[in-house]
Amino acid sequence: MLLAVDAGNTNIVFGIYKNQEWIAEWRYETLPIKNQMEYELFLRLQFLEANLKLEDVEAVVISSVVPQLNPILTEFSKPLIHRKPLFIEPKIFDQLPVRTLQPYQIGTDLLANAVAGFMHYKKNIIIIDFGTALTFTVVNAKGTVLGVSIAPGLKTAIKALVGNTAQLPDVPLELPDSKMGKNTTEAIQAGILWGYVSMIEGMLDKIEEELGYSSTVIATGGLSSILHPLHARFHKVDKNLTLEGLRLIHNLIRK
């Protein structure tokens, strides 16, 4: 049984892989930064509720884009599971089937996405990750990361608008039927969510125009299911793509 940990700017995702499938996934708020004991208690509770045993965990792999968390995440699993985790970092990138020209400037979550996408599809791909940031990672059929585009994520955009405006309400992430809201909440939903639909369609068109060829488009991230009109443009929606990339990297490095 493998424990994969994906620490992002909004949530830390813990995934359990067993018997050739992801059997559990738990999210824990990233900020404020917790201490080692809090992570241990959180995991113990989740394992108990899922009727899983900590002693069945054979390995731990960790990706983090939050530097303050790295020492805590590196150490927390040792007394809990008695395993030294594999921490994804640039020094191991040359052992992977995916290449990037800037190994110290790509997030380990994006690299995990690229590894999973390339190893599963072996073709030209564009991976769209709906997280705190909205990212487009372009990988060619040879496994080279050609580049990344980054925009504010959906929640980030709404929080920025609401947080800097005195009279706007909190807004649920629900795509309205109309592009023209009939009240303040619908107006924000229409502007941001339908705006992101158009932005993503436009970015895909511009990227493929620049590349000169079409690509397989894979969507991932916790918010990947919200903009459902885009699903016809996606070849695959895989919410576990990052965790799967961590698993594949672990297998390659430990082998």
Task: List active site positions.
Answer: 109
Query: d(Cα 201, Cα 199) in Å, to the nearest integer?
Result: 6
Write the DSSP string, 45-79. HHHHHTT--GGG--EEEEEES-GGGHHHHHHHHHH
CA within 13 Å, CB half, 250: 22
Sign of CA dihedral 126, 146, 201, 228: positive
For residues 135 and 153, the answer to whether their CB atoms sit within 8 Å is: no
Nearest one of 67, 54, 64, 60 to 8, comparing CA atoms: 64
Q: From CA 242, how far away is CA 128, in angstroms rounded?
A: 11
- Please give the Cα distance from 33 to 56 (Å, whole number): 27
